[in-house]
Amino acid sequence: MKRLLAAAALAALVAVPAASAKRAAPPTLKSGELVVAFGDPAVGFASGTVRGSTVTNPRGYEVDLASAIAKGLGLTPVWMYSPWNGLFLPGTKKFDISFQEATITAQRKRTVDFTSSYLNANQGVLISKQTTPPKSIADLKKLQTCAQTNTTGLDWINSNLHPTKRPLTYPTTTAAFQAVQLNQCQALILDVPIVALQAKADPGKYGPVAGQIDTHEQYGAVLQKGSKLLPLVNAQIKKLTANGTVGKLQKKWFNLNFASIPVLK
């Protein structure tokens, strides 16, 4: 009997450290915080007030998703601004993770790490009010196209469309949308969710989203190359997808049937 009691006591002592052991803190830039970067304001995705490198009162799908990820990791999200054109440059990042509607590509993965996908997207065609909607890729070739620099939309124009006029390029989505408003650009080639939500927010400034091109792209959040945070974030995205949170957030912020936009061939 004494032997049994002694064994039980020993087992209890061994169990105490295991039960009281704390989970290792996520490897973030600042203890207890998840520094989340956004780029240019994007309707439905992430819109807030940008002052220098800070973003205040951000709202949108990516904001809610980042908040849910941070909560799952036991971290407090901190928002910052990081320009698109520097997103894929090699070197040390000033953020833990960045959500900028960035398509996962093999070339970009050479310099940064991507999370698993949190949204699928095709390329869309947003036209100016003065432009006759193209009915085919052949029609689109004849228009003055434009795109944001360093985007898969610009890659598609140069590699697949080969328009009769050289595409105009802009460093920000804001500048590209303004060019469409002024009819300097007749057809902006940019991700369907981005152009569709922008057109919905300001319907009087643009023509319709005249079509989409099947490119079957996937958005991933960007992290420092070799980031030890990546598997932890991917686990949260998997969990949030499985429990329906991702689907609910997309419905909340988009409320558009992107599939209803005709495919140009």
What is the pLDDT, as a whole number, of residue 11?
Answer: 46
Separation in Å, CA 161 to CA 139, 145, 185, 210: 11, 10, 16, 16
Task: Report the b/e string of 138-174 with b at 16+ CB within 10 A.
Answer: eebeebbbbbbebbbbbbbbeeebebeeebbbbebbe
What is the pLDDT, as a whole number, of residue 22?
Answer: 62
- pLDDT tens-digit readout, 180-227: 999 999 999 999 999 999 999 999 999 999 999 999 999 999 999 999
Strands (E), the chain: 33-38, 47-51, 54-59, 76-81, 97-99, 112-114, 119-127, 145-148, 168-170, 187-191, 209-219, 222-224
Q: What is the DSSP string of 89-134?
A: -SS--SSSEEES-PBP-TTGGGTEEEPSPSEEEEEEEEE-TTSPPP
Please give the single-letter amino acid code of residue 115. T
Spatial CA neighbour of 249 closest among 109, 99, 40: 99
Q: Are 193 and 44 in contact, with CB atoms under 8 Å apart?
A: yes
Which pair of tokens denotes residue 126?
Answer: 């947003």
Query: What's the CA gap between 210 and 193, in Å, rounded?
Result: 13
Please give the single-letter amino acid code of residue 185. C
Spatial CA neighbour of 193 closest among 59, 45, 38, 40: 45
- pLDDT tens-digit readout, 119-176: 999 999 999 999 999 999 999 999 999 999 999 999 999 999 999 999 999 999 999 9
Q: Are 212 and 192 in contact, with CB atoms under 8 Å apart?
A: yes
Give 9's pLDDT tier (boundaries 50, 70, 90): very low
The mean of the pLDDT values for the chain is 92
